[in-house]
Every structure is written in C-alpha cells, then in structure tokens.
Structure 1
C-alpha cells in the first residue's frame, strides 16, 4: 500500500520530468522501466526503491534529496508556486508544438529574453 510520501515523491518526479520537457516514454527509456511504470511512480501508485530513485535523480540531473525536500511539513503536500505552475504549463505547451522549426524559434526567443533580463539586472547593479 502506498502512502502520501509515495505520492509526494511521484509529484516531484512528474513536475521535474515536465520541466525537462521529457515524455514518460523518454524518461522510462533512460531509467530502464516501462512508461506505465513511470506513470505509476508519478501518481504514487507504486513505491520506488532507493536504487531506482537514484537512477531517476541522475536521469533528471537532481540530487536524490530533491525528491524528499519538504516532507517535514505536516501535510506532506508539495508547495507548488505560481512560477512552478507556469513552468510546467510552458513545458506542456512547448511539447505540443509539432514543428521543430517552431520549437527552435520559441527556444531562441526564451534564450533572448533570459539574456536580456540578465543584462538589465547587471545594469541595475
């Protein structure tokens, strides 16, 4: 039987996978399980062994501690900020763009805006 901790860890995997712009199939291939198994992990229906969580952490370029940060809270619910929600939404929408040239154009725009923000911040200091 799974617990709220399993659901919490699963939600962290789900959010991070989307933030990286990966499909379940892509993540499942890189960690050596089926995409159905990744879905079960993300929904907290299956427990994740520590060894598998370490593989997932490496695949998503995070330290294993990332997946349990915040569990000290009373309700074990992850605190998702508006910024995190927006990042997930942007990632979902980006993955729906079928034309690779359009994806590249969006990526170039984001990089340009990010660089402009950094230049503007440097001017203020």
Structure 2
C-alpha cells in the first residue's frame, strides 16, 4: 500500500537525487569530451536523444545494466561515473566498493563545476589533439606554471 507521502509525489515536482545528477553529469562530461552528440550516444544505446538528455540531467535514474552499456560505449570503467562524488556521497568505503582497487582521493565537498564548463571541455579536447607527446607535455607544464601555487 502506498503511503500518503509517496502518493503525493506525482502531484509535486520531482527533484532528482544528487547521485543521479552527478552520474548523469559524468555521462555528459565523457560524451562531450569524446565529441559525441546525444543523438549518437542514443543510437549506440537504442535510445532517443531525449532519453539521453534525461539521464544526463539526472531526471531519469540510470539502471545498472544501462550504466554498463553506457560505460562500454563511452569507453570508461563504471567507476568513472562516481569519480569526484561530492560530500558525504563520496566516502572511501563507497569508492573502494565501486572501483575494487579504490579511486584516487578526491576532495571532500567537491562543489566546483569547472569540469562541466564548455571552456574546460574545449581546452581538454584541444590538448588531446596535440599529437606530439613532447609538445603536449610542454603545454601541460606551461599551464601548471601559470596557475597559482596552492
């Protein structure tokens, strides 16, 4: 039997889970870094671009088998979608269960949206288009030298 609270959910605006929003954002990040459109990702998964949009916004929750398919298409391990999980959602025990080998330590309370900015994505794409490894390393070193020391 449905509780009064759960039956009222249809009447109220649905607020996506922060975890679903994070995972969807990571799908968007990887898709964009690959230069793949929502339409292309949808075709590879047998979905419409509107379904991909809903996954990326966290409006629709991504099930385990679908996440497995997305990871395969985007050529990343499943743990990628949980990297940089903000605040209390990203505790170490969760991370080690997701990855098995454990993730590199992320910042607690990671709230910076820099990874989702178009500027960041364009910079990363341009960086990886540099085919000469020595030149790419020099660009990397230059950027690091220009950033303030923490």
Please confirm whether the aligned pair reaches a TM-score higher than 0.5, indicating the same fold: yes
Unaligned ranges ≥5, structure 2 = 1-13, 91-108, 141-150
CA displacement 1:55-103 (0-9 Å, x = unmatched) = 0011111111111123362377765575774441357xx8xxxxxxxxx
CA displacement 1:7-58 (0-9 Å, x = unmatched) = 1111111111100000000111111111100000001110111100110011
SS of the residue corresponding to residue 48 of structure 1 reads: coil
CA distance in 2, matches of 1:25, 1:120: 33
1:110 and 2:135 equivalent? no
Unaligned ranges ≥5, structure 1 = 95-105
Q: What TM-score do you get using the length of structure 1 for normalisation?
A: 0.66
Number of aligned residues: 107
8 Å Cα contact 1:13/1:42 also seen in 2: yes
Counterpart for residue 99 of structure 1: none
Task: Provide closer, same or farther for how the CA distance between residues 40 and 120 of structure 1 changes in structure 2, counting only shifts above 3 A.
Answer: closer
Task: Provide closer, same or farther for how the CA distance between residues 116 and 24 of structure 1 changes in structure 2, counting only shifts above 3 A.
Answer: same
CA distance in 2, matches of 1:90, 1:117: 12
Counterpart for residue 25 of structure 2: 11
Task: Provide closer, same or farther for how the CA distance between residues 8 and 84 of structure 1 changes in structure 2, counting only shifts above 3 A.
Answer: closer
Counterpart for residue 11 of structure 2: none
SS of the residue corresponding to residue 111 of structure 1 reads: coil
Q: What TM-score do you get using the length of structure 2 for normalisation?
A: 0.56
By relative contact order (CA 8 Å, sep 6+), the higher-ranking structure is 1
Counterpart for residue 62 of structure 2: 48
Q: Which 4+ runs in 1 deviate beyond 3 A? A: 74-87, 117-121
* Higher radius of gyration, 1 or 2: 2
Task: Provide closer, same or farther for how the CA distance between residues 119 and 39 of structure 1 changes in structure 2, counting only shifts above 3 A.
Answer: closer
8 Å Cα contact 1:6/1:47 also seen in 2: yes
